[in-house]
A = this chain, B = another copy of it.
Amino acid sequence: MTTTATTLKGQPLDKPILDAMLRRRLFYTPSFEIYGGVAGLYDYGPPGCSLQANIVDLWRKHFILEEDMLEVDCTVLTPHEVLKTSGHVDKFADWMCKDPKNGEILRADHFVEAVLEARLNGDKEARGQKVEEKDDPKKKKKKAKTEAVKLDDAVVKEYEEILAKIDNYDGPELGNLIKKYQLRNPATLEIPSDPVSFNLMFQTSIGPSSNVRGYMRPETAQGQFLNFAKLLDFNQGQMPFASASIGKSYRNEISPRAGLLRVREFLMAEIEHFVDPQAGKKHTRFQDVAHVELVLLDRDTQLSGKTDTRKVAIGQAVKDGLVDNETLGYFLARIHLFLEKIGVDLSKMRFRQHMANEMAHYACDCWDAELLTSSGWVECVGCADRSAYDLSVHAKKTGAPLVVRERLEEPVVIDEWQVDIERKKFGPHFKKDARFVEAVLLETSQAERQKLAEQLNSTGKVELDVAEVAGGKAELNDDIVKIAWRTRTENTREFTPNVIEPSFGIGRILYSLIEHNFWTRGSDGGDEARGVLSFPPTVAPTKVLIVPLSSNAQFRPHIKRISQQLRSMGVSNRIDDSSASIGKRYSRNDELGTPLGITVDFQTLQDGTVTLRDRDSTTQVRADESKILDAIKAIVEGSKDWNKVASELPRFEGQEVDIASR
């Protein structure tokens, strides 16, 4: 079995080699490993931590600063009531089933997917076809075992269609599939129990008397919604505006897998863009991005059991109604540009639209930016239109006015039926029932009011259905309530904004970026292939490696001065004065993704020149220290690339031999 994943240079991706390298260089590591580890928890070591910080820094510049968003930092701890209202207590769940024999807990959709894929692979084997190994993040770590059994062509088609829309099934449907196709747990050959819902939030209690039930937030969004009124005020009442937040979120995954793709604690960067729904969700800067071409996989294509994509300019996609509105389209394009900027391989990126049953409970449309890795297509950014869902439910629950009040340029004149309550009589008449009767009365539609008005006019009284009142009916006389046809002038308009939410999983982006930038350097003399991470200088964990040719003490002042100068320019650098050969020291830094290297040698002592090495081509130039520092600055800031620098400064060949001979 082979994997279809490729490196930056199109070589087949050798996942175990990459994994070993990431481990050796401490990009990330299982948390609590000396205690045996806990599934789904990872720590970032120095290069991973720096890579993450650089991605976050670019994110902040690309989104928050360029668009003047309002950044907030809200708490992870969240009381029960908030997440009950938002729907997470009831609906933020996955379906899990249990093996009746060994008690193993299986995530239902992953289980169905794994068994059907194993059967399809078995069929291919039986037909003598090549079987591709797909290390799918949606699948349980332990794969279903493949047996070479040929299937009917019709069955193959059925399985393939199920798999294409696997995200569309709910628990009972998954249960039906399990029974219909007799899907058995390979470990025990038992059919697992019917799927039950498992809530993914970590629960805790807040305060010494354990009386406030709470959760660790599953997304950063709710804190932003709850602060909406304050943020609008801070923004001096101006619409549209966006808030943004970068912080940890938590999901108690049923079956986390090895690696960063499905973890229980993760860094998110979320934007909540608040927009007036009445204006068709237009965006003033849409024309700036309308030309950006995106690779789209729409909902209908998937429902038909296919995965064909098409490349469309976002301007056209919105025009055609493929993407619902300008604001959603604007952010899809901005997401595309961000991922391009940090170094994602554009040939391994697509935007996939969610199917109806797949969408989160709050969403009315959603597109995911997916990146292709050795684990298949991985959802890295979600871009959902949450409509007015969140603001509405929180406003209803708390009574807080999470609305925008806008002065109308032209007052609106409205003719309507109005209810007048005779307060002095109404309260004493209904006593404790008064507020229920009033609520029903005020919620009546114009048509109902017209009827009530006619009845009051003809009989002098009306009867209302009020569930809370004894007998379920309330009788009102025309001395207590009147309903009149009047004209009203409105000078302000009140509305609940809709929310477009681009939501970034930083860890998934970081891992995909590593795969997209990984390749191995061909070896001339039968050596082991050497790994390289060709990160763009902007995201590379360290920008410059500084190496003295040897441990000669005369090199030290040069090394120290160069390092301090780079630091004062804001360019991160590391000195490696270990005793390893220069070639080995550079190889180590190729694995760390360090784009540039300075060597200080005996010539430096004579004429003050140093060499600068390019990670990707391994070519070197030699010049005065100051010229080299200028070149570094230009490369790190993105104003020049290596080819430009190499064309301007004298090429240096001296150490090539040394570098090759590790």
Q: Which residues of A contact B (CB under 8 A)?
A: 25-26, 29, 31-35, 38-39, 41-46, 48-50, 52-53, 65-66, 68, 70-79, 81-82, 96, 105, 198, 202-209, 212, 214, 216, 223, 226-227, 229-231, 233-234, 236, 248, 250, 252, 254, 264-265, 394, 397-398, 400, 402, 567, 572, 574, 578
Contact of A31 among B43, B223, B400 (CB under 8 A): B223
Q: How far is the CB of A620 from chain B (nearest CB, A)?
A: 24
B contact residues around A236 at 8 Å (CB): 578
B207 touches A252 (CB 8 A): yes
| Oligomer copy total | 2
State the Cβ distance, A177 to closest chain B Cβ, in Å. 21
Which B residues are in CB contact (< 8 Å) with A53? Answer: 71
A74 touches B578 (CB 8 A): no
Q: A82-B32, A208-B254, A226-B32 are in contact. Are A26 and B234 (CB under 8 A)?
A: yes
Within the assembled complex, what's the spacing in Å between the Cα atoms of A48 and B74?
Answer: 11
Q: Are A45 and B105 in contact (CB under 8 A)?
A: no
Q: Is the CB of B75 within 8 A of A265?
A: yes
Q: Which of B65, B248, B264 is in CB contact (< 8 Å) with A572? A: B65
Q: How far is the CA of A25 from the CA of B44 in the complex (A)?
A: 35
Q: Tell me the nearest residue of chain B to A567, going by C-beta.
A: B65
Q: A77, B250: Cβ atoms under 8 Å?
A: yes
Whether B77 and A38, one on each chain, are in contact in the complex, defined by CB atoms closer than 8 angstroms, is: yes
CA A233 to CA B42, docked complex, whole Å: 18
The answer to whether residues A79 and B265 also contact, given A45-B72, A207-B39, A208-B254 and a CB cut-off of 8 A, is no
In the complex, which of the residues B65, B198, B229 contacts A208, with contact meaning CB atoms closer than 8 Å?
B198
- Closest 4 A/B residue pairs (Cβ): A34-B400, A44-B73, A43-B74, A34-B398
Docked-complex contact B79 and A208, CB < 8 angstroms: no
Cα distance A254–B78 when bound, in Å? 18
What secondary structure prevails in chain A residues at the interface with B? mixed
| Apart from A46-B70, A49-B73, A248-B248, 7 more pairs, CB < 8 Å | A25-B234, A26-B230, A32-B79, A35-B81, A41-B75, A41-B77, A43-B73
Decide if B77 touches A202 in the complex (CB within 8 Å).
yes
In whole angstroms, how far apart are the Cα atoms of A82 and B31 in the complex? 11
Chain B residues whose CB sits within 8 angstroms of the CB of A208 once the complex forms:
96, 105, 198, 252, 254
Q: What distance in Å separates the Cβ of A560 from its nearest Cβ neighbour in chain B?
A: 12
With A72-B43, A72-B44: A264-B206 Cβ-Cβ less than 8 Å: yes
Name the residue of chain B whose CB is nearest to the CB of A105.
B208
In the bound complex, what is the Cα–Cα distance between A150 and B572 (angstroms)? 65
State A70–B25 Cα separation when bound (angstroms).
13
Q: Bound complex: CA of A44 vs CA of B45, how far in Å?
A: 28
Using known A-B contacts A39-B207, A231-B45, determine if residue A226 contacts B73 with beta carbons closer than 8 Å: no
| Residues of B with C-beta under 8 A to A81 | 35
Q: Select which of B26, B52, B73, B212 is within 8 A of A38 by beta carbon.
A: B212
Do A76 and B248 touch (CB < 8 A)?
yes
- Which residues of B have CB within 8 Å of A572? 65
Q: Which residue of B lies closest to A47 (CB)?
A: B234
| A42 CB contacts on chain B under 8 angstroms | 75
Nearest CB in chain B: distance from A644 CB, A: 20
A71-B46 contact given A34-B400, A572-B65, CB 8 Å threshold: yes
Contacts of A34 in B (CB 8 A): 226, 229, 394, 398, 400, 402
Contact in complex: A227, B43 (CB < 8 Å): yes
Q: Is the CB of A105 within 8 A of B209?
A: yes
Q: How far is the CB of A440 from chain B (nearest CB, A)?
A: 26
Q: List the B side residues contacting A52 at CB < 8 Å.
A: 73
Question: Can you name the residue of chain B whose Cβ is closest to the Cβ of A28?
Answer: B73
Q: Report how far A572 CA is from B61 CA in the complex, Å.
A: 10
Question: Do B32 and A78 touch (CB < 8 A)?
Answer: yes
Contact of A29 among B78, B202, B214, B230 (CB under 8 A): B230
Pick the most buried of A34, A250, A264: most chain B CB atoms within 10 A of its CB. Answer: A34
Whole-angstrom distance between the alpha carbons of A163 and B87 in the complex? 49
A33 partner residues in chain B, CB cutoff 8 A: 226
Some 8 contacts from A to B, beta carbons below 8 A apart, are: A34-B229, A34-B394, A45-B70, A45-B234, A46-B71, A76-B76, A105-B208, A203-B204
CB distance from A25 to the nearest CB of B (A): 8
Contacts of A209 in B (CB 8 A): 105
Using Cβ atoms and an 8 Å threshold, which residues of chain B touch A204? 202-204, 216
- CB-nearest residue of chain B relative to A44? B73
* In the complex, chain B residues whose CB is within 8 Å of the CB of A397: 35
The docked-state distance in angstroms from the alpha carbon of A35 to that of B209 is 20
What are the residues of chain B within 8 A of A76 when measuring CB–CB? 76, 248, 265
Q: Please give me the residue from chain B that is nearest to A107 by CB atom.
A: B208
Are A43 and B75 in contact, CB atoms less than 8 angstroms apart?
Answer: yes
CB contact between A45 and one of B41, B216, B230, B248 (< 8 Å): that residue: B230
Specify which of A79, A223, A229 lies most central, judged by the most chain B CB atoms within 10 Å of its CB: A79
Look across to chain B and name the residue whose beta carbon is closest to the beta carbon of A209.
Answer: B105
Residue of B nearest to A398 (CB): B34
